[in-house]
Structure 1
Amino acid sequence: MDAPNYLFYGLIGILVILFITSLIKKAFKLMTLVIMIIIGISLYNIVIKGVSPIDEVNSYKTDISYTKNIKDYSEKIKTSVGNIKKAAGNPTKQENVDIISLESENLHKYEEEVLSLKHSSKLKLFHEKYCNYLTSLVKTSDSALKLTKLGGSSSQNVSSVIDKLMDNFNSLAELK
């Protein structure tokens, strides 16, 4: 290799290092901003609203746990809805009816568990909306199950119910 190639590679190496350093600085500034916002909100709640510092910390712990649980339930719900959609492709097979029945039971179980999740008053509105969408999702899956159990129902009816199920799930997913 000759000198111009070494110079070119050295210049690229310096640019990569500068770019990475810039990204790290921006990430640090963003983390600092988020921490300052959280501290500001906490101070407002403690000083203005009169919430005790221990209650404020416990509120954040509860909300963090709630968000992790909601994320897990959203993944489980997505899997169940996908299984129902796949099984509804041929609603006349008994094994597909069994799959739809099982996933419908799972959705009922998830609904009960989500309704009982602890959350702070800050997340009350989100929790209510999430539960409403989940309830409509469960009702739609029940309709799909009833249609497939009838056996004589047309696949067009089942697919329209499945489309409604997917619309409800997409609305639920948009809440995040």
Structure 2
Amino acid sequence: MRAEDDASYREFARAKAMSLRRLAYLLCADWHLAEDLTQTALIKMYRAWPKVHRKNTVDNYARQVLLRCWLDERRKPWRTVENRDGQVPDQPGTDLDPALAGSATGTRDLLLRALTEIPPRQRAAVVLRYWADLSITDAAITLRCSEGTVKSQAARGLDALRAVVERLGVEYVPVAGRSV
């Protein structure tokens, strides 16, 4: 790779690593896995950087690679036998981990828990549309599907989120006109 391509990749990685990690966390609900997914996505981006950088589709490509890494990780055999019941034997103090301290509000915890219970494609559509604030067209490009599929997956995902929230015993309240 040429020196200027390498420098531009390093600048991109420094600027976008944290936002990619947050997006990965919303998809997988595990900070450690989110870090691994981000690193894997950045490695894959490095390999294709000269071609991607010239086309000026870097942000969308990064989200697409991250989404594919997450879907690939879910297909691995050890992920299918893991049983996540949501019960952690020891609860650390929230003052020790900045991620836990930031999630002290019940609404945020409830939403993150509900996100983990909806199907992966619906979760991806909801996260890309409402958290990453992508347009339907950009989300369709990232998910490699039609715009109609994004609309239906997002709508079904929102319905599933509402059902999970109701099942958890908390009343669903829309925030400032948004569905999520």
TM-score range (shorter-chain normalised) is under 0.3
TM-score by length of 2: 0.26
Instruction: From the CA coordinates, give the structure whose radius of gyration is larger.
Output: 1
Which structure dedicates a bigger proportion of its chain to helix?
A: 1
